[in-house]
Structure formats: structure tokens, C-alpha cells
Chains A and B, each alone.
Chain A
Amino acid sequence: DTAVSQTPKYLVTQMGNDKSIKCEQNLGHDTMYWYKQDSKKFLKIMFSYNNKELIINETVPNRFSPKSPDKAHLNLHINSLELGDSAVYFCAASRGQAFYNEQFFGPGTRLTVL
């Protein structure tokens, strides 16, 4: 069983569109994250979500909004897509706070904005 899954694996869309990426974890962990990996493979955290508390990295544009319908899901919605949003987006989950707990990563979603 996949611990953290993401759909879709690939997403190609036009500039200005709104899109969503879904993330599900079956680990029962209470903290989930979204990371962005740019073309140079640099990984940067975007959000962490724990017990309905959302913590946003200050550099993330407000066009990005995570939505958690339940503890096992943290979906990423992106409005008015821009060329610079092209990247691989990773969802992750951990038990409790990330900075000392192992994070389990999904396989990533490669977003291409044309």
C-alpha cells in the first residue's frame, strides 16, 4: 500500500487556469505538508497543516491554498497559474512536528504551465 499518494502524476495546463493536486496519506499521521521542487531540484516547504492549523511559508503567493477535507487529505489548489509555477510538487506526512519526525513523501506531481 502506498503511504502517501498524489494525483495526478503529471499536469499540463495553460497560464491563467485554476488547478488542484490531491494528496492522501494512509499512515494516520496528523501533520501534512506541501513542498515545491524547482527545475534545479531545490526543495522548499510551502505549507504545513496540523490539527486544522495551517502554517504558511511567507514566500508562497496567496494564489496557492491548501484544503484539508479530513485528516488523511491535504489538497493543493492553485489559482491563476503562472509560468513560474511549473515545478514538481510533493506532498508529505509526518507524525507530529516535522523537525524531528520522519516525513513520508508522495511520488510528486509534475506541473507544467504553458
Chain B
Amino acid sequence: AQSVTQPDIHITVSEGASLELRCNYSYGATPYLFWYVQSPGQGLQLLLKYFSGDTLVQGIKGFEAEFKRSQSSFNLRKPSVHWSDAAEYFCAVGAPSGGGADGLTFGKGTHLIIQP
């Protein structure tokens, strides 16, 4: 079965600084990878996704992520964060779950705090 690890529970970044959120996955084949953002009291919104092709994918709100097969990673980056980026970020892998519900498998999330 697939799994996702987000090693950082909390990250604090100064406004205007760069950001990198880590994500490692475990899956036997080529995974479908996603980053979602959850603002306080809101549902999840898709930032970007990777299926195949160019390993650097661009998303909404100035985010990008790079797929590195050799490291089983899909880290999310942003060159300059804004206070409005404060939220919970979830990495997820999509894969057929072998008879289970074919939803996404999520990491436990990284809580991003922006310092003024």
C-alpha cells in the first residue's frame, strides 16, 4: 500500500522568505502526486499535481514542486511567501488501493506559520 510522509509538522518562515515543504512517498509504481492546501476553517484546494513528464510542475499561487524519483520525494517550494500562505499543507499520493476506496492517501500535513 502507498504511504506519504511529511517530516515537518510545523514550519515558520518570515514573510518574503523562500519556502520548501518536504514530502516523501512510498509506492511501487509511478505515483500520482498532489499538493493540497487547507486554509483555516476551509476545505482543501489543489495547488498542483504530477503524473508524468516534466518533473518540475507549476501550480497556483506561485507554488511549484519537483518530483525526484531517486529520492521518492515531491517537495513543494515557493520563492517568496506571503502572509496569506499561512495554512496547512498536505501532500498526497493517488494510486489504486487494491480493493479499497480509491481516494487519496494523505500525509499528516505541515502547518505553515508566517512571521511578519
Which A residues lie at the B interface, using CB under 8 A?
A: 4, 33, 35, 40-48, 55-58, 90, 92, 97-100, 102-103, 105-108
Contact = CB atoms under 8 A, between A and B. Distances in A.
A55 B104 contact: no
Contacts of B103: 33, 35, 45, 48, 92, 98-99, 103
Interface of B: 32, 34, 36, 38, 41-46, 49, 51, 88, 90, 94-97, 99-106, 108-109, 111
Contacts of B90: 43
B32 A100 contact: yes
Contact of B101 (A55, A100, A103, A106): A55
A103 B49 CA distance: 11
A38 to B, nearest CB: 10
Shortest 7 CB-CB contacts between residues of A and residues of B: A99-B94, A45-B103, A105-B43, A48-B101, A43-B106, A105-B44, A55-B101
Given A99-B96, A100-B94, 14 more contacts: A41-B88, A42-B106, A43-B106, A55-B101, A58-B100, A92-B103, A97-B102, A98-B102, A99-B94, A100-B51, A105-B36, A105-B44, A105-B45, A107-B42
B94 A106 contact: no
18 contacts: A41-B88, A42-B109, A43-B44, A43-B90, A43-B106, A45-B103, A46-B101, A48-B103, A58-B100, A92-B44, A92-B103, A98-B94, A98-B102, A99-B96, A100-B32, A102-B34, A103-B103, A106-B43
A26 B44 CA distance: 17
Given A40-B108, A43-B90, A103 B102 contact: no
A27 B97 CA distance: 25
A82 to B, nearest CB: 21
B36 to A, nearest CB: 8
